[in-house]
Amino acid sequence: MKLLITGGAGFIGSHVVRRFVNAYPNELVVNLDALTYAGNLSNLSDIEQAPNYSFIKGDITQKEFIANLFRAEQFDAVIHLAAESHVDRSITGPDAFIQTNVMGTANLLNAAVESWRTHMEGKRFYHVSTDEVFGSLGAEGKFNEATAYDPRSPYSASKASSDHLVRAYHHTYGLPIVISNCSNNYGSHHFPEKLIPLIINNIKNKRPLPVYGKGENVRDWLWVEDHARAIDVIFHKGRNGETYCIGGNNEWKNIDVVRLLCRLMDTKLGRAEGESAQLITYVTDRPGHDARYAIDATKLKNELGWEPTQPFEELLSKTVDWYLSNEPWLENVTSGGYRSYYEMQYSR
């Protein structure tokens, strides 16, 4: 089995690559990643010498390159995670999201159809997507596999477009596919433009903690290793053509997550109780900010036996420990381009 994983140098992708390389020595894992600002090969330093792992630097928006790669490598399966993934960046610069998330996915689908045209049996194109395609919830209810699409940011619209293309290629060309839509992840190697690692980094450096609006928006947080485990079980056991929703069953208001991080880090850093919370700063809200996400993952539990790991506070504490003991990683990713991005995003 030769498996192509796209976006394997990113946050979730690196956890998926690590899991597959370690758990399946007979599956050859090829990691294709353009190494954008969000991609970092040091995320995979522990497995880069493994005999069943190889890395190719390449951009999924390059149609000919992707077609040639599939002809040369003869992949048996694809797990597609490569994407532009940050909502705020999609608001200031949507084009890259349309190019990578829509056109890049189309290039992979075309290459897979061409490569597998005469022998689709046993092949699998796994598309990793987000719960944001479903839009925004009110106070009640949860998203599930039957929820209608209602994307509301350029990021979520580009992911919704890619989901539609993947399903269309299944119905039109018989491409064997599976899709999962997951809630917000947290854990190690998370790029500090996203809420949890950004707040950890700012608490550590005693910088203001930017909370959008009133901090009352709700997210359903899932530990990234639980997501990687769900992807593993869906890849190996999920039914052809199906969609599976993945969530943490773990809803938190943003302000409560930020306060919890302040408490955890005051203790870990030997600061006075309440010291870090004084850094909380309410800032201009994200345009079109989705109010609440929550996933009903009953299908995944009933069909494939997957459930999230609890409790959140323990895993969040473990996550903080990882950032505090991996200072060079944090310094490396927050130098250079990160600083100008931060200025642009938070000085308005």
Question: Is 132 an annotated catalytic residue?
Answer: yes
| 5 contacts 17 by C-beta, under 8 angstroms | yes
| 316 contacts 224 by C-beta, under 8 angstroms | no
> Please, which residue, 28 or 246, has the CB nearer to ligand DAU?
246
100 near ligand DAU (CB under 6 A) = no
Stretch near ligand DAU under the rule CB under 6 A, chosen from 49-57, 64-72, 81-89, 308-316:
81-89
List all residues 6 or more positions away from 20 whose beta carbon is below 8 Å from its beta carbon. 3, 5, 27, 29, 232
158 near ligand DAU (CB under 6 A) = no
Question: Is 212 an annotated catalytic residue?
Answer: no
Q: How many residues bind ligand DAU (CB under 6 A)?
A: 19
Task: Give the contact letters, 204-223, x = binds to ligand DAU (CB under 6 A), - = no.
Answer: ------xxx----x-x----
* Two structure tokens written together for 76: 């048996």
User: Tokens 């250079």 map to which residue?
Assistant: 336
| 31 contacts 19 by C-beta, under 8 angstroms | no
CB of 289 to ligand NAD, least distance (A): 16
Give Cα separations from 160 to 63, 94, 156 (angstroms): 21, 14, 6
36 interface partner picked from ligand DAU, ligand NAD, none, CB below 5 to 8 A per type:
ligand NAD
Residue in 33, 84, 88, 155 annotated catalytic: 155
Q: How far apart are the first and last CA of the chain?
A: 50
Q: Which residue is nearest to ligand NAD (CB)?
A: 10
> Please, which residue, 176 or 197, has the CB nearer to ligand DAU?
197
Binding site for ligand NAD (CB under 6 A): 6-7, 9-13, 33-36, 38-39, 59-61, 81-85, 100, 104, 128, 130, 159, 182, 184-185, 191
> Please, which residue, 38 or 69, has the CB nearer to ligand NAD?
38
Question: Is 285 an annotated catalytic residue?
Answer: no
300 near ligand DAU (CB under 6 A) = no
Q: How far apart are CA 84 and CA 92, in angstroms?
A: 13
126 interface partner picked from ligand NAD, ligand DAU, none, CB below 5 to 8 A per type:
none
Nearest Cα residue to 12 out of 179, 131, 162, 129: 129
Q: How far apart are CA 84 and CA 125, in angstroms?
A: 19
Angle at 98 between CA 126 and CA 194, to 5 degrees: 75
Residues that bind ligand DAU (CB under 6 A): 85-87, 130-132, 183-184, 194-195, 198, 210-212, 217, 219, 254, 286, 293
Q: Which residues are catalytic?
A: 131-132, 155
